[in-house]
Chains A and B, each alone.
Chain A
Amino acid sequence: MGAHAESNKRIWIVLGILTVITAVEVGLGIAKPDSLHLNGFGTSWLNWIFIILTLAKAYYIAWAFMHLEGEKKWFRRSLVWTAVFLISYLLFIVLFEGGYLYETLAPLIKW
């Protein structure tokens, strides 16, 4: 029973973390402070914050709720590494193409 009480406590902590992260995201999304919104590296700092917080949320959902932390290490890796590798590759190639399309087509649009 002791272990179960522990795992229940962890669930509530994770709920708290996910709620706080969502609240922070929404708060920043509404406030959009200029210093974060209009400056950045590649994309705005604000976007970086959103992406990192999203990955943090994804980590907690997959590890705590979907219980990846309790699975065998190489089973977990067969899932996570596959997804991370393929998605990074896809995003890299597709987003660069999007930027190229903009550079090529935008000069042709008359506003």
Chain B
Amino acid sequence: MEADIAVNSDNKETWSGGGAKPFGASYGKMMMWFFILSDALTFSGFLAAYGLTRFKFIDSWPIADEVFTHVPFFHGNYPMYYVAFMTFVLIVSSVTMVLAVDAGHKMQQKKVALYMFVTIIFGLIFVGSQAWEWKTFIKGSYGAVKTSDNKILQFVKADAKGNFHQVSLASFVDGHRVDGREQHSKKNGLWFEGEKTISQYSVTQVQQAFKNDPSLQIRSEQINLDTKQKVILSRDKSEEQLEKASQVVEGANLHVNEYGNPIFADFFFFITGFHGFHVFSGIVLNIIIFFNVILGTYEKRGHYEMVEKVGLYWHFVDLVWVFVFTFFYLV
């Protein structure tokens, strides 16, 4: 056998390149880098697809800082503050990871454990925030109406200065749903079929309420490319468009999206979800390594290179987020 293969396979070290270190990088570290490279290309593919779709719908794409305006425990309009906080959390967790790797080089077991622990906590804060962000996005903020030709109509009112502000359905539609339509559940319908949550109001109810309040106008999905603002329809045009309403939309999911084009929501769920899954696996890896550190595995091994390798992965998660943050929330 030995004649056929370059490295002796009887040697237990074979899988790690027989201890060979091309470019001074160990097998494990080099492979982590190549994995990161391939994963970076995957994420670029997703973001490029997002870019293509956005260019395709450049005159009607949702404006991100009108979509992500919520901060937990605060009411009001705070575009981007919360994502900025999340970005900061991830950067700080990268720093604690660097400190863990650094302590590993100095063979300070307790310090490595401490910094790993802090990194895990920051990671959990980040995924928790991401979950909250999803929940808020799915729930929606104002509610809108979808027309039979698949356009989203949002409701706005002008303030004293003539600036338009979006208003929620609940602020101008009175009371509860009046058309007698009920949520289909196992109790009142076919036991083997369920139904997604139906909207709070019926289409006719919204149309009626709109007619009763002349101060309301409709904001279309269309963007005026000169001002980069959504086009506000005149009262007449608004009524005309609202006639075509076919569905009341509250929140966002993979089929409808009260903020505009549903594919925006699809990309949001897919890209931030894929990233969130990376953060989650990073946390799992960190926890495993954390316990190894506590158990003294790397003290016995004589080096803390495993901490360095999961550290690379963890920094990569941060690196990807920097791009997701820019292309989803800023640009």
Interface residues of A (CB under 8 A from B): 4, 7-8, 11-12, 14-15, 18-19, 22-23, 25-26, 29-30, 37-38, 43, 47, 50-51, 53-54, 57-58, 61-62, 64-66, 71-72, 74-75, 79, 82-83, 86-87, 90-91, 94-95, 97-99, 101-102, 105-106, 110-111
| Minimum C-beta distance from B94 to chain A (A) | 5
Task: Please tell me if the beta carbons of A75 and B331 are within 8 angstroms of each other in the complex.
Answer: no
Task: Please tell me if the beta carbons of B58 and A83 are within 8 angstroms of each other in the complex.
Answer: no
When chains A and B are docked, how far (Å) is the Cα of A53 from the Cα of B322?
A: 10
The listed residue (B25, B57, B79, B105) touching A29 by CB distance below 8 A is: B79
B318 CB-CB contact with A under 8 Å = yes
Among the stretches B48-56, B135-143, B159-167, B248-256, the one at the interface with A is: B48-56
The listed residue (B30, B102, B330) touching A8 by CB distance below 8 A is: B102
When chains A and B are docked, how far (Å) is the Cα of A61 from the Cα of B53?
A: 29
Q: Chain A contacts of B331 at CB under 8 A?
A: 43, 47, 50-51
Task: Please tell me if the beta carbons of A54 and B44 are within 8 angstroms of each other in the complex.
Answer: no
Q: Chain B at the A interface: mostly helix, strand, loop or mixed?
A: helix
Number of contacting residues on B, CB 8 A? Answer: 61
16 contacts between A and B (CB under 8 A): A8-B102, A12-B95, A18-B91, A25-B330, A29-B79, A29-B80, A38-B227, A50-B330, A54-B322, A54-B323, A74-B23, A79-B37, A91-B51, A98-B53, A99-B58, A101-B55
Question: Which 6 A-B pairs rank lowest in CB-CB distance, beginning with the nearest?
Answer: A98-B55, A75-B23, A98-B52, A101-B56, A72-B23, A54-B326
Most buried by B among A4, A72, A101, A111: A111
Among the stretches B81-89, B186-194, B272-280, the one at the interface with A is: B81-89
The listed residue (B49, B59, B79, B105) touching A106 by CB distance below 8 A is: B59
B76 CB-CB contact with A under 8 Å = no
Task: Please tell me if the beta carbons of A79 and B33 are within 8 angstroms of each other in the complex.
Answer: yes
When chains A and B are docked, how far (Å) is the Cα of A106 from the Cα of B23?
A: 52
When chains A and B are docked, how far (Å) is the Cα of A54 from the Cα of B330?
A: 10
Task: Please tell me if the beta carbons of A61 and B318 are within 8 angstroms of each other in the complex.
Answer: yes
Q: Knowing A51-B331, A75-B25 touch, does A102 contact B56 (C-beta < 8 A)?
A: yes
Q: Chain B contacts of A62 at CB under 8 A?
A: 315, 319
B222 CB-CB contact with A under 8 Å = yes
Q: Knowing A54-B326, A83-B40, A102-B57 touch, does A90 contact B48 (C-beta < 8 A)?
A: yes
Closest B residue to A37 using CB positions: B228
Most buried by A among B23, B84, B98, B318: B98
Closest B residue to A10 using CB positions: B98
User: A-B contact count, CB below 8 Å?
Assistant: 140
| Minimum C-beta distance from A53 to chain B (A) | 8
Task: Please tell me if the beta carbons of A102 and B44 are within 8 angstroms of each other in the complex.
Answer: no
Q: Knowing A50-B331, A91-B48 touch, does A30 contact B41 (C-beta < 8 A)?
A: no
Q: Chain A at the B interface: mostly helix, strand, loop or mixed?
A: helix
B45 CB-CB contact with A under 8 Å = yes
| Minimum C-beta distance from B71 to chain A (A) | 13
B72 CB-CB contact with A under 8 Å = no
Task: Please tell me if the beta carbons of B330 and A58 are within 8 angstroms of each other in the complex.
Answer: no
Task: Please tell me if the beta carbons of B319 and A22 are within 8 angstroms of each other in the complex.
Answer: no
Q: Chain B contacts of A57 at CB under 8 A?
A: 322
When chains A and B are docked, how far (Å) is the Cα of A50 from the Cα of B64?
A: 14
When chains A and B are docked, how far (Å) is the Cα of A17 from the Cα of B36?
A: 24
When chains A and B are docked, how far (Å) is the Cα of A99 from the Cα of B51?
A: 10
Query: Chain B 90-120, CB within 8 Å of chain A: the 1/0 string?
Result: 0110110111001001100000000000000
Closest B residue to A87 using CB positions: B44
B265 CB-CB contact with A under 8 Å = no
